[in-house]
Structure 1
Amino acid sequence: MNHTGTHTGTGAEPDTVAGTVARLRDGMARGVLSFPLTAFTATGELDTGGYRAHLETQLAAAPGAVFPACGTGEFFSLDEDEYRSVITATVEAAAGRTPVVAGIGYGWAQAARFARIAEEAGADAALVLPHYLVAAPQDGLVAQLEQIAARTRLPLIAYQRGQVAFTAPSLRRIARIPGVIGLKDGHSDLDRLQRLTLAAPDGFLFFNGASTAEIQARAYATVGVPAYSSAVHAFAPEIAGAFFTALRTDDGARLDALLRGFYIPLVELRDRVPGYAVSLVKAAARLRGHPVGPVRAPLTDPGPDDLAALDTLLTTGLDLVGATR
C-alpha cells in the first residue's frame, strides 16, 4: 500500500493504517525483518547501484518487511537527497511485494521532513529512530511522536533505545496517537517490555530490535514478542532464515547449535569496538561479495585481525546451516 504526493497536517488515514498493520503482522509471522545496508563507494559517495544489488539479495530471501535507511543502513550519515535515493530505490525494488518501512529521526521537525520524503517516495510506514542527544521526560517523548504523526500520512513505529524508554502509561498514550502502530524495543528489559505489551491495545505491533536480536529471541517470545529484526540477514540470510525456522518450530537443539557456534561468537567480536554492530555487518556483506563499500565516519571498518576472525566465523555459520560461501 504505497503513497505518493506531499501531504501534511492531517495524519495517517485509518484505512492506510489498518492495511499496513495487517501486512506487517503477516510479514512478521513469515520472516525476519530486514535492515539493508546503504552502499558507499571507496571515496564515501552513495552507490545506488551497489545498494540495489544488495537489496535484491535481501528481498530474494523473503523478509517480513524491509527497513531502509535505519541504524544498520547508516541513516545518521545520509543527507536528504541521499535518503530520498535510498527510499525510492527500495520502494521500486520491493514493488509492493514486501512492506517498506523507512527510518526517520532527529528532532520532530527534521523527522517530519524525512517522513515527507519517505511518503513521496512511496514508503508504507516509518520507523521513528531515537531523537538526537538529549534526555527527555515522558511527556516530551509522547509529544515528539504527536508532532511527527500530525505531519505525515505514514503509519509510525516508535523505537525505544538509548535515551528513549517508554513507561506503560506513556505507551497507552502513544498507542492512541492516530497513525502510531507499534514499538521496536532495543533495551531488552523484559520486565519493562512485559508491562508495555500488557498496557497496549489489541493489534499494537511489537518487535525485538536488540543488537543481534537472535540472542534474546527466545526470551522476547516468552513475553509475547516473537517478531524481530536481524542484522545477520543483511549478510547471511541463510543463517538468519535457519534460526527463524528453528525458533518457529521450537527446535531447541538447532537454536543452541547456532547460538553457540555462530551468534554468541559474533556478539563477542562485535563488542570489541564501538560501532561494530554496523561495521562488522557491512564487512561480512563484503566478504559475501555484496558491493556495499565501507562505512562512513564516525564508524570505522574492522582491522585485519577482526576481519580474519569474522571470515572464519562466517564460514562456520554457513557450515552450520549447510550453505556455501
Structure 2
Amino acid sequence: MSELVLPDRVLFFPVTAFDAAGRVDAELVEQHVAERVAFEPGAVFAACGTGEYHALSIDEYSTVVEASVRGTAGRVPVLSGVGGPLGHALASAREAQRLGADGLLVMPPYLVQGPQAGLIAYVEAIAAATELPLIVYHRGNAQFTPASIEKVLRIPQVVGIKDGAGDLAVAQRFVRAAADCDRDILFFNGLLTAEMTQAAYTAIGVPMYSSAVFAMAPDIAVAFFTAHRAGDAETQARLLDGFYSPLIDLRDETPGFAVSLIKAGVRLGGLPVGSVRAPLVDPTDEQTARLEALLATGRELVA
C-alpha cells in the first residue's frame, strides 16, 4: 500500500523557470526550490498548476521534476503534477517515479467532460502506470461526487484529496467518506489564494492548503500559516485585510494571474525565472508595480 507522510507545514508550489529563449532553465528551477526549502515547507509540488504543467512537454516536465528533486536534497517530499491528455499523464507519472518523486498530484483530464465512471477510470489508469501515491485534485472538469470519491478511495495508491471546487458541503462529505478507509487520507484546500478560505476548511477537517504566495513571498506565507495554526486571529485578520484581499483584487483583473502574478513576484525577488507561456500573459508594468508595493506592505505587516 502506498504511503505519504507530509509535515504539518505550508505547502510550496514552485514556478517553472524559463530562460530568454523560452527554454526550461534547470539551474534556476533548482535554485528556486533550494532557496524556498530553506523556509521549511511541508512539501514541494513541482510542475503543477503554478509550475505551468499545462505548457510543458514530457522532456521539459522531466527536467523540472529532476531539478526539483535536486533542489530539495532529500529535505522534504517532492510531488509532481500529472494530468491533461491521458497519454501525457501516464508518461509524466512514469517519469516522476523514475526521477525520484515521492508522489503525484492528479490534475483534471484534457478538455472533455467525462462521466463519473470515466473520471474514476482516469485515476485508475494513472495508478496502474506508477507505484507512487496519488493525491486526486477535485476541480474544473474533474469534479467528483461523494459516491465517486468513495470508489476513488478504494484505489490503494490514493492517499489524498485536494479540493479546488469550493463547495464546503461536498468537501465535508469527502472527509466523512474517508472515515471508513483502511488508511489515513490527506485532505487539502486547493482554492486560489487558499489562505482566504482556510479557516472554513480547517473547521471541516481539511487542515492543509496550497500556498502559491510561498513561491514569491515565503516569509508572508509562513507568517500566515503560523498564525493560523496558533489561532492568532489578529495576525490572520491583519494579513487577510492588508495583503491577501488586495492580492485577490489584482489577481482577478486578468485570467491566469493566479500563476502570472506569482511568477512576477519571484522575478521581483531577484530570480530571473522568465515569463509565463501562452495562453497566460505577464502583468503589465503598472500591475507589476502594484504587486511590488503590495509585497512591501505584506512584509511590513509581518515585521
TM class, shorter-length: over 0.9
Q: Aligned with 1:159: secondary structure?
A: strand
SS at match of 1:105: strand
Q: Indicate the residue corresponding to 1:153 in structure 2.
A: 131
Q: Which residue of 2 aligns with 1:140?
A: 118
Counterpart CA distance in 2 for 1:33 and 1:231 is 8
- C-alpha contact 2:224 2:239 (8 A) present in aligned 1: yes
- In structure 1, what is the equivalent of residue 259 of structure 2? 278
Q: Is the aligned partner of 1:211 residue 2:192?
A: yes
Alignment of 1:161-240 (within 5 A): 161-200=139-178, 201=181, 203-240=184-221
Contact 1:130 1:161 in 2 (8 A): yes
Q: 1 CA distance for matches of 2:27 and 2:249? A: 33
- Is contact 1:36-1:72 (8 Å) kept? yes
Displacement of 1:82 after TM fit?
A: 1.1
Alignment-mate amino acid for residue 175 of structure 2? T
Q: Cα distance, 1:109 vs. partner?
A: 2.7
Number of residues paired by the alignment?
Answer: 300
Corresponding residue number in structure 2 for 1:3: none
Structure-2 residue corresponding to 1:5: none
Which of the residues 83, 95, 112 maps onto 1:117?
95
Partner AA of 1:276 in structure 2: F
Q: Distance in 1 between matches of 2:53 and 2:171?
A: 26
Q: Deviations over 1:54-78 (max 9, x none)?
A: 1112111110010000000001111
How far has the Cα of 1:85 moved from its partner? Answer: 1.0
Using the size of structure 2 for normalisation, the TM-score is 0.97
Counterpart of 1:313?
294
Q: Deviations over 1:194-219 (max 9, x none)?
A: 11111112511110111101010101
Structure 2 CA distance, aligned partners of 1:308 and 1:100? 33
1:257 partnered with 2:235 = no
Are 1:246 and 2:227 an aligned pair? Answer: yes
Deviations 1:224-268 (A, max 9, x none): 001001000001000000000000000001100000000000000
Q: Any idea what the Cα deviations from partners look like across 1:26-54, whole Å, max 9, x if unmatched? A: x1x2x111000100112311111221221
Residue 199 of structure 2 aligns to a residue whose secondary structure is helix
Query: TM-score of the superposition, structure 1-length normalised?
Result: 0.90
What SS does the corresponding residue of 2:162 show, helix, strand or coil? strand
1:8-27 per-residue CA deviation (whole Å, 9 max, x = no partner) reads xxxxxx2xx13x2xx22xx1
Q: Does 1:291 align with 2:272?
A: yes
| Deviations 1:123-178 (CA, angstroms, capped at 9, x unpaired) | 01111111111111111111111111112111111111111111111111000112
Which 4+ stretches in 1 moved above 2 angstroms? 107-110
Residue equivalent to 1:108: 86
Q: Which runs of 5+ in 2 are unaligned?
A: none
Given that 2:27 and 2:67 are in contact with CA atoms closer than 8 Å, whether structure 1 keeps it comes out as no
**2:255 counterpart letter in structure 1:** P
For 2:32, the equivalent position in structure 1 comes to: 54
Cα distance in 2 for partners of 1:279, 1:253 equals 30
Does residue 71 of the first structure (1) align with residue 52 of the second (2)?
no
Question: Which digits, 9 at most, give the CA deviation of each residue in 1:258-289, with x for residues without a partner?
Answer: 00000000000000000100000000111111
- Contact 1:208/1:220 (CA < 8 Å) preserved in 2? yes
